[in-house]
Amino acid sequence: MSRVFFVLLNSVFLLVMGCQQESPQLAPAASRLAASKLSILVVDDSPLAAGIKLLRGEWSERSGGELEIQEGTIDQLLAATELSADLVIFPSRHLGTLVDRDWLRTVRKSVLQSADVAIDDMFPLIRNVTLPYGSQVYALTLGEPPLMLVDRDFVGPKKWDDIDNPSTLGSSQLRYPYAVALIARGVSYAQNRGDSSGWFDSETMQPRIAEPPYVKALSEMLGNEMASTNEKADVAIGWPAAGAANSPRYSSLPLADEVYNPLRDIWEKGEEGKPITFLGFAGRSVSVTKATRNSASAFKLMRWLVSEKIATQLSPRSEATVWFRKSQMANSKRWLPKNVASDESAANVSKLLSSSNFYLLPRIPGVDDYLEVLEKAITWAISANLTAEEALAEVVVEWNSLTNRYDRDWQRAAYRRHLGLHESKPQ
C-alpha cells in the first residue's frame, strides 16, 4: 500500500504546512462571540454522549455558550434526509456517506493549524491516512483503534491458523465479525504485493472479493468451522476497550506465511516485514455540518473536543476509540481494560499507529451494505456447506448490484477519493 500512503501523505502535506505556527487559544471573555447554543448529534455512542454532557459546564464557562446533546443510531442517520445539528460525531467508516450527501463542511486550514488540534502530535496514520478524504479534510478524530489480536491466554499466535473464527471474544465489538475476519485474512495474503485497492478495481468498480487471497482466506475459515475443535488458543480479532471484562493482551495481526502474486498467478513465500495496521473498522469522527448557522463557534467547539486535555477525558468513555496522540501515551491505560496484561499492549497500539504498512476500510457510501452482504454470504456458506468460490461468486453479484444501485460512477469517484486518487463528483 505504499503508493497510496505517499499519495495521501502528499495530499495532507499541503494542508499542514505551517503547523508550527500555533494560533492563539480562544479569546478572553470580553472579546468572545455572543453567547450561542450549539447542538451535537452523537451517533451510536451513548457513553460518549454522556461524557460530553459532563463537559457542558466547562464549555459554557469557556465560551459563554450552551451545548445541546442529541443521540441517534447509525440506522437513523442513514435514513435521514438532512442534518439539523451543528456538529455530528459518527462511526468513521461512514465519512464517505456523509460527504456524498453534502452534509459536512471541510475543516478550515486555520483549524488544522491550531494549537488545540496540534496535528503534529497525532500519530502518523491518524494524521496522514484517516483524516484526508480525497484532497480535503472533513472530520477530525476522537480515536481510531487498529484491529488487533485479543488474547486471553497470552499465548500470542504467530499464524492465522492459530486464530479461531469469530466468537464471543472480539465479535461483540464487531457488527459484521465474519466479514471483518475475512477481510483481515484476505488482505494479509495480498498485502505484501502492494494490493492497494482490496475491494474493487478502482477504474471499473468490479469487485475483487472473489480473487485468490480472499478465496484462500474463506476456505480456511470454513475449514475451521467444520472442524469445530476447541484446541486453539482463546484468541480473536478486536481492539482495546476499557469496558473489557478481563485482562487480555493486545498484539498485531499475524503476517501471512504465503502471499499471492497476481502477475505470475502463483503463491509465494511471505516476506518478513511490518505487521499490517487495519483501520476504519471502529473509530469516532467529529465534523461541523453544513446545517450550522454558527460555523465559527462550531469549529471552535470541534477544536476543543479534540484537544489533548479534553479528548483524554472524553475519548476513553467510548468503546470504539483509542488514544490518537503521542502526548496521550502516558495516559493510555484510560482506554485499556483494568489490569491489562502488560504495558506491552499499549506499546503495540502506538507502534501500529506509527506504521507505514496499513489497510483502511473503504469509506464509501453504503459501506455497511457491502459488509452485510459479505457477512450473510459467509454464514450461508457455513450452514449450507458451500465452497468459498461459490459463496464469494454470489458476493460479487450482490456487490455489483449494490454499486449500480448507488450509481457506479458516483461510487467510483468516492472509492478513488478514499484511495487518495482525487477526482470530481460525476455530474
Residue 405: which CATH number?
3.40.190
pLDDT at 302: 98
My answer on whether 113 and 158 are in the same domain is no
Residue type, 147: L
My answer on whether 268 and 296 are in the same domain is no
Q: How far apart are CA 302 and CA 247, in angstroms?
A: 33
- Residue whose C-alpha cell is 476509540: 321
Strands in 87-91's sheet, in edge-to-edge order, are 66-72, 37-43, 87-91, 284-288, 140-141
Task: Evaluate whether residue 60 is within a structural domain.
Answer: yes
My answer on whether 306 and 395 are in the same domain is no
pLDDT in tens, the chain (427 residues): 444 443 444 444 344 434 333 333 333 333 344 448 999 999 999 999 999 999 999 999 999 999 999 999 999 999 999 999 999 999 999 999 999 999 999 999 999 999 999 999 999 999 999 999 988 999 999 999 999 988 776 555 567 876 766 654 455 678 899 999 999 999 999 865 444 557 899 899 999 999 999 999 999 999 877 665 445 546 778 888 765 556 678 889 988 888 898 888 899 888 777 889 999 999 999 999 999 999 999 999 999 999 999 999 999 999 999 999 999 999 998 998 776 656 788 899 999 999 988 999 999 999 999 999 999 999 999 999 999 999 999 999 999 999 999 999 999 999 999 988 866 556 5
Task: Evaluate whether residue 247 is within a structural domain.
Answer: yes
My answer on whether 201 and 259 are in the same domain is yes
My answer on whether 77 and 181 are in the same domain is no
Provide the strand spans (E) within 309-382. Answer: 358-360
Number of domains in the chain: 2
My answer on whether 269 and 291 are in the same domain is no
Strand-pair partners of 150: 236, 250
Output the CA–CA distances (angstroms, integers) from residue 367 to 74, 181, 247, 331, 403, in the order listed: 12, 16, 32, 33, 10
My answer on whether 302 and 179 are in the same domain is no
Task: Evaluate whether residue 288 is within a structural domain.
Answer: yes
My answer on whether 210 and 261 are in the same domain is yes
CATH code, domain carrying 13: 3.40.190.10
Closest CA to 175 of 395, 418, 376: 376
Task: Evaluate whether residue 42 is within a structural domain.
Answer: yes
Task: Evaluate whether residue 339 is within a structural domain.
Answer: no
Task: Evaluate whether residue 342 is within a structural domain.
Answer: no
pLDDT at 28: 39
This prediction's pTM? 0.87
- Residue whose C-alpha cell is 498485531: 252
- Residue whose C-alpha cell is 456447506: 385
Question: CA 245: distance to chain centroid?
Answer: 23
My answer on whether 302 and 176 are in the same domain is no
Task: Evaluate whether residue 375 is within a structural domain.
Answer: yes
My answer on whether 159 and 132 are in the same domain is no
Enclosing domain of residue 256: 148-276+359-418
Q: How far apart are CA 185 and CA 173, in angstroms?
A: 18
Helix%, strand%, coil% for the chain, nearest 5: 45, 15, 40
pLDDT at 427: 56
My answer on whether 115 and 176 are in the same domain is no
My answer on whether 66 and 202 are in the same domain is no
Q: How far apart are CA 186 and CA 368, in angstroms?
A: 18
Task: Evaluate whether residue 92 is within a structural domain.
Answer: yes
What is the torsional sign of CA 378, 384, 385, 390?
Answer: negative
pLDDT at 158: 63
Q: How far apart are CA 161 and CA 221, in angstroms?
A: 9
pLDDT at 169: 47
Quick check: 53 and 89 in contact, CB under 8 A? no
